[in-house]
């Protein structure tokens, strides 16, 4: 597993405002989109490209274009939807799939899959899993293996913040045959006894979309 933590003053500034409990949902959503664009720039560094001859207004040349098949972006519902706009702004030609998973509250590292909208065959596709929080690591491992069952071998996870315990769990449980990377804005202090990241930013889904009882 390859872990990349962004180190940039703009990321630190935006993340500080994002964490503030007094930041309204409208600002929170915009900041999530801006942060994921900064992360995506790093996460897409190894996108496959092909040489493409073109003519500029001055002369012919050979440039680069994204290779086929198109990369696929997979938000983990529901909080991952808040990151989708930033990703598609950077890669507008990418395909989008959806994966609904939630934590089993009695067994925090186990996940319940309740929805998916994904191609049956992901062979040869570069996949980007987006979810704001890497807490226990259970969702990320389950989601990555879900993609791998469909043939994916190149998966990059983009999370805004992570807990050390979650990173350790992913390192120990991710299938080593997968070319797997994680990009985060920050690694926080720890998980609390309810498996929430400390200091964290609260429940990302609730802060994006409001509390649902």
Round to whole Å and give the CA distance between 196 and 65: 41
Round to whole Å and give the CA distance between 185 and 188: 10
What is the pLDDT at residue 74?
Answer: 95
What is the pLDDT at residue 110?
Answer: 64
Residue numbers in the known binding site are: 78, 103, 131-139, 197, 202-204
What is the pLDDT at residue 104?
Answer: 64
Residue numbers in the known binding site for 5-phospho-alpha-D-ribose 1-diphosphate are: 78, 103, 131-139, 203
Instruction: Please state the pTM of the whole predicted model.
Output: 0.90
Other Cβ atoms within 10 Å of 149 Cβ, number: 9
> Over its length of 213 residues, how does the chain's per-residue pLDDT go in tens digits?
899 999 999 999 999 999 999 999 999 999 999 999 999 999 999 898 999 999 999 999 999 999 889 899 999 987 888 899 999 999 999 999 998 876 666 665 567 777 788 889 999 899 999 999 999 999 999 999 999 999 999 999 999 999 999 999 999 999 999 999 999 999 999 999 988 999 999 888 888 887 655
Written as six digits, the tokens of 166 are 């979650």
Residue numbers in the known binding site for uracil are: 197, 202-204
What is the pLDDT at residue 61?
Answer: 97
What is the pLDDT at residue 112?
Answer: 73
What is the pLDDT at residue 144?
Answer: 95
Q: What DSSP string describes 106-117? A: TEEEEEEEEEEE
Domains of the chain: 2-48+65-209 (3.40.50.2020)
Round to whole Å and give the CA distance between 115 and 131: 15
């Amino acid at each position: 597993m390859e872990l990349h933590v962004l180190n940039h003053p703009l990321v630190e500034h935006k993340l500080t405002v994002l964490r503030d409990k007094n930041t309204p949902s409208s600002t929170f959503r915009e900041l999530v989109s801006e942060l994921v664009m900064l992360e995506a720039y790093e996460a897409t560094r190894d996108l496959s490209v092909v040489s493409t001859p073109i003519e500029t207004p001055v002369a012919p040349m050979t440039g680069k274009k994204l290779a086929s098949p198109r990369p696929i972006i997979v938000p983990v519902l529901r909080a991952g939807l808040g990151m989708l706009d930033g990703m598609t702004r950077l890669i507008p030609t990418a395909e989008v799939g959806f994966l609904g998973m939630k934590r089993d509250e009695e067994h925090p590292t186990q996940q319940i899959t309740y929805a998916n909208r994904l191609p049956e065959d992901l062979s040869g596709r570069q996949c980007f899993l987006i979810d704001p929080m890497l807490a226990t690591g259970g969702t990320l491992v389950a989601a990555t293996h879900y993609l791998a069952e469909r043939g994916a071998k190149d998966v990059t996870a983009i999370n805004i913040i992570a807990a050390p315990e979650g990173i350790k769990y992913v390192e120990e449980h991710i299938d080593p045959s997968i070319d797997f990377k994680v990009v985060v804005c920050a690694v926080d202090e720890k998980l609390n006894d309810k498996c929430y990241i400390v200091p964290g930013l609260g429940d990302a889904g609730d802060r994006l979309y409001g509390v649902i009882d």
